[in-house]
Structure 1
């Protein structure tokens, strides 16, 4: 989120509940079985529980998850579980209240920690914590996050900072590679081993000996996973993005009621998907819009 904030879309620009459910039904008929609701912040929607319930009832959908900042999770965790939500990803870039307040433009970290505790009581299939490492901001807390997995059955995922919505110079100053996670383990005598977690996520996962939870590494910059990418993103205003990084979008909102046209546009998006986010500029004949996305990460979701 930029310092000056971002304007909210007018209500009529955002997909309605019925549009979302029909969209998911279309995708399910095309073979999609897993759905993740991201943001912005999905728990801001007053109908998010109903959306989860209706999506989970779609024939062919067997896994529904949400990525959230966790601020409203204590109030909604139980209802989401009862609606059929399977898994949760919670953004938590720091344990320090002052740093959290700065990162989130005023958020209260105690609300998030309470939300995580409430979610744990609901026994979701998996709870993951997303930590984007940024130099000078939270890279000194790696050990704290690793220790958090000792008594908490969560998967702490360290994510490389991506140059989305930031100048290249700013990104280069703040980027942190993930090898320091292993270095932190080694320096503190923490023995770890690779593990397999269910799901199709892009993280490499490990567990420290004797710890209840685990940690994962997501490195889109230093070790691209583009060739294994199996995701499409639909923005809140009804555009399909086949690649998170590029400004290539196709408006599919009007096609939601027309399954044939919907399928044609989704196939078009897939056909135009670059081989990877760095090579795309060299493949100008395949790219509709040859610029990085105009949307901030807070508008796209993970």
Structure 2
């Protein structure tokens, strides 16, 4: 490790509620090649200025410092991370970082559109796992939902990830009433047939248009009820800090997960911290404040200064996201600008 963090700052990132943070989500870009209705409006959102995006050296420095503070996994997100021109180099340099507990585990969340040309190179660079977004198997629904006719490309990307040898591969599907709630079992069947783990996600208030409505949200309980019509589900123990409740499908080995962030929040075990593409540290997906890591870094801050900022950011983390609280306010940034 090339960074120099003082011994007194090398302790783990622990908040006031005793949660130890081991998972860093890094957004490589806010740009995306889809326009999913639950993320951004049809015309898109203003992209960050190029000069505000963290350079690869800055990303690596931040990850090295985080690794010195107990981070063991880095998840690369976006926008769409595969749109970053040097994404393979970013993966290779992240995978080479040695933390306090060994090499960082580097994973990625993607829409898969560029995987046919990049999957093999990413695997060779050290990427260990992939989470791929797939909300529907119907071309017309995909086109309406993403405002792009790219379902075939997405499915080709999934096949490329399988061929490259990634395992496990997780598919993420946001359940939406009147959109894809009629094909939940079809999505699970698709995943089971290919040895992939499907994870259904409750839609969260992170859309750029701020039109999210709780009554219109498909709940985790509704998802499980729909799946139980065709599959035998057996809950698996040992969830730990994972966001998904996992269930064995028809006796295994396949599993399915449900991420019920709204109706069954898992904030009490959350171990995640996020770094936006423009270098803002967020201690919660729904945080209303950010810590300016980029400003400190570009202003000459030392490695100790950056480590202290990370500690301070985590100490200020609230006990929960507060969606059910009367004063809840949706974050100003949409999901595409925060990073998953």
- TM-score relative to the length of structure 1: 0.91
Equivalent-residue separation in structure 2 for 1:291 and 1:163 (angstroms):
9
Q: Which moved more, 1:266-275 or 1:37-46?
A: 266-275
User: Quick check: 1:300 aligned with 2:338?
Assistant: yes
Q: Deviations over 1:227-267 (max 9, x none)?
A: 11101100000000101112211111133451111122112
Partner of residue 58 from structure 1, selected from 78, 94, 97: 97
Select between 270-279 and 114-123 the one with higher mean Cα deviation. 270-279
Offset of residue 268 of structure 1? 1.7
Change (3 A) 1:196 1:11: farther
Is 95-104 or 231-240 further displaced after alignment?
A: 95-104
Q: Which residue matches 2:256?
A: 215
Contact in 2 for aligned 1:150/1:212 (Cα 8 Å): no
Question: Where has structure 1 moved over 6 Å in runs of 4 or more?
Answer: 196-199, 279-282
Q: Check whether the contact 1:135–1:173 (CA below 8 A) recurs between aligned residues.
A: no
* C-alpha RMSD of the superposition: 2.3
TM-score (norm 2): 0.81
| Higher relative helix content | 1
- Counting only pairs closer than 5 Å after superposition, residues 187-266 of structure 1 correspond to structure 2 as 187-188=229-230, 190-195=231-236, 200-209=241-250, 213-256=254-297, 258-266=302-310
Is 30-39 or 177-186 further displaced after alignment?
Answer: 177-186
**Pairs within 5 Å for 1:109-258:** 109-165=151-207, 170-188=212-230, 190-195=231-236, 200-209=241-250, 213-256=254-297, 258=302
How many residue pairs end up in the alignment? Answer: 295
1:45-84 matches, cutoff 5 A: 45-60=84-99, 61-84=103-126
CA displacement at 1:36 relative to structure 2: 0.3
Runs of 5+ consecutive residues of structure 2 not aligned to the other structure: 1-39
| Native 8 Å contact 2:199 2:258 kept in 1 | yes
Unaligned runs of 5+ in 1: 285-289
Q: Do the aligned residues in 2 keep the contact of 1:241 with 1:248 (CA within 8 Å)?
A: yes
Q: Does 2:309 align with 1:270?
A: no
- Give CA-to-partner distance per residue, 1:15-66, whole Å, 9 cap, x none: 0011101111111111111000000110001100000000000112331000
The question of whether the paired residues in 2 share the 8 Å contact of 1:197 and 1:205 is answered with no
